[in-house]
Chain A
Amino acid sequence: MSYLNSQDIHQFRNRILSISGEDASKCIQCGKCTAGCPISPEMDVQPNQILRLIQVNDPDTLLRCSTIWICASCQTCSVRCPEEIDIAKIMDSIRKLALEAKGPLGEENVVKFDEIFLDSIRKRGRVHELELVMKYNLALRRPFKDAQLGPVMFARGKLGFLGHKIKELGKIKEIFQNSKRLLKP
């Protein structure tokens, strides 16, 4: 438990507070977040443990865990927290810090998918669903994942092959260029 002896035990808690406005030290470990979390069976660190690890200043575990990436942002935890901590927002903040730390990520694939998603917006102004899923599956070197859905989706007219592009694409590129990763760094 060497992290307990670190110079500033509140360091990570303060960092989270500064970028999200959410104070993890209010957590009383009641466990409601974990009890209601739909993804908790697959999580390596439970939502209440995430808050505890912030309190005891353990960024190493937090930044590398899988939990922050498979959190579906369904907001159930945030709605039920008796201390009114927006836990989903904290999950989002740890994601930002994990990217910033540039170390190994708990779920590289989720990030890959999200990056391809943003790239689609940059190039088209809108998301082209078919292209998004195909690019993602190619990036993961498993081009035939979910291929079984292809024929029925095609037959039902659910696959747009060409996608759409907006007119002011230059404007979208400008917005991408002007936007900074963090609002309050």
Chain B
Amino acid sequence: MQVGYYPGCSLESSAKEFDLSIRAILREMKISLKDIPDWNCCGASPAHYLNEELAMALPYRNLVKAEEAGLDQVISPCPACYSHLKHVHEEVLKQTHLADRLGAIVGKKYGGGIVSKHLLDFIKQDIGFDRLKSSLKAPLSRLKVVSYYGCLTRLPGVHIDDMENPTLMDEVVNAMGGEALEWSHKTECCGASLSVSRTEIALRLVNSILEAAQDKSADCIAVVCPLCQSNLDTRQGDIHKHYGKNYGIPILYLSQLIGLAQKLDYSQLGLDRLVIPPKNLLIEKGILEK
């Protein structure tokens, strides 16, 4: 089975481990990925208000490139990339004048044939829990996980789960034998790029999320967004400085957890790239051998 893939900019650098682990776990399930050839940045949040047409034209070019490459399904691991591809796809199908305008800007016409998937709905709908389970070699027994969705389920074009109380990630964690905990901060905001421009706001938000996870005695937080991961993981040192709290909670991509349950190699899953190392926790839980 071959599926299209749109990694996005973060997965080339700060979130390389998200990319590594997704490729590894899908390979394990006999799914090969074909990148959208010569893909470009989706425009992320800045393009929205700085240049509205550009914000739609950038994802539009990716849709064109995906179609030219003969792809029909495209997985975008990053929620922002996913939302943009999906949103533009939906809008051009609804508004002919917009489709014409974007076609003129990009110089090529998108035929409307790309089905965008986030990793989560791809796992649920296309892989299915049975096939996922049959790929597992070592259940994540006794690992207490809180799933953090951030704003994923509320973004434009995203209709994969309940917006305020999503459960898809929890279902995956439970399917792997882990213990998905109920908690209060599933969909609270991580501060996104305010982490760079107004760092103190992001620190307050990240602190409250980590505190809620700690209150539940969670072993780790599972995420599916490069920005959420980065804010929750890299800012724990600053939080220690500002709030005097030393959480030391590992922030793992869901794909890394799946990879661990498939008994894939620690560094192959990019686990050594996390700022808060999960190694001791995983050894203690018997998931990783010493």
Number of A residues whose C-beta is below 8 Å from B?
A: 62
A175 touches B45 (CB 8 A): no
CB neighbours (8 Å) of A41 from chain B are 204
A175 touches B188 (CB 8 A): no
Q: Which of B12-20, B117-125, B136-144 contacts A (4 or more CB under 8 A)?
A: B12-20
Known interface pairs A72-B192, A125-B41; A178-B105 also in contact (CB < 8 Å): yes
B163 touches A118 (CB 8 A): no
Closest to A124 in B: B41
C-alpha spacing A158/B17, complex, angstroms: 9
Q: Which of B22-30, B46-54, B212-220, B246-254 contacts A (4 or more CB under 8 A)?
A: B46-54
Known interface pairs A174-B107, A178-B105, A182-B52; A168-B38 also in contact (CB < 8 Å): yes
B272 touches A183 (CB 8 A): no
User: Which of chain B's residues 210-263 have a Cβ closer than 8 Å to chain A?
Assistant: 234, 237-238
Q: Of residues B192, B193, B196, B272, which shows the largest number of chain A Cβ atoms within 10 Å of its Cβ?
A: B196
Closest to B270 in A: A157
CB neighbours (8 Å) of A95 from chain B are 48-49
Q: Of residues B56, B104, B275, which shows the largest number of chain A Cβ atoms within 10 Å of its Cβ?
A: B275
A130 touches B163 (CB 8 A): no
B40 touches A121 (CB 8 A): yes
CB neighbours (8 Å) of A38 from chain B are 188-189, 191, 205
C-alpha spacing A120/B48, complex, angstroms: 16
Contact bitstring B42-71, A, C-beta under 8 A = 1, else 0: 011111111111101110010000000000
Contact bitstring A160-178, B, C-beta under 8 A = 1, else 0: 1001101110011011101
Known interface pairs A158-B13, A158-B14, A179-B54; A75-B61 also in contact (CB < 8 Å): no
B192 touches A126 (CB 8 A): no
CB distance from B234 to the nearest CB of A (A): 6
CB distance from B39 to the nearest CB of A (A): 7
User: Which of chain A's residues 52-82 have a Cβ closer than 8 Å to chain B?
Assistant: 70, 72-76, 78-79
Number of B residues whose C-beta is below 8 Å from A?
A: 59
B155 within 8 A of A: yes
Closest to A181 in B: B51
Interface residues of A (CB under 8 A from B): 38-39, 41-42, 70, 72-76, 78-79, 92-93, 95-96, 99, 107, 109-110, 113-115, 117-118, 120-121, 125-130, 133, 136, 145-146, 148-149, 152-153, 156-160, 163-164, 166-168, 171-172, 174-176, 178-183
25 A-B pairs within 8 Å (CB atoms) are namely A38-B189, A42-B201, A72-B191, A72-B193, A73-B48, A74-B189, A99-B50, A109-B198, A114-B45, A125-B38, A125-B40, A126-B12, A126-B41, A127-B44, A129-B9, A130-B13, A149-B234, A158-B16, A159-B14, A166-B38, A166-B39, A168-B38, A178-B57, A178-B105, A181-B50
Q: With A72-B151, A174-B107, A180-B53 given, can you name 11 additional A-B contacts, CB distance below 8 Å?
A: A38-B191, A39-B194, A74-B189, A76-B154, A107-B198, A128-B9, A148-B238, A166-B38, A180-B52, A182-B53, A183-B101
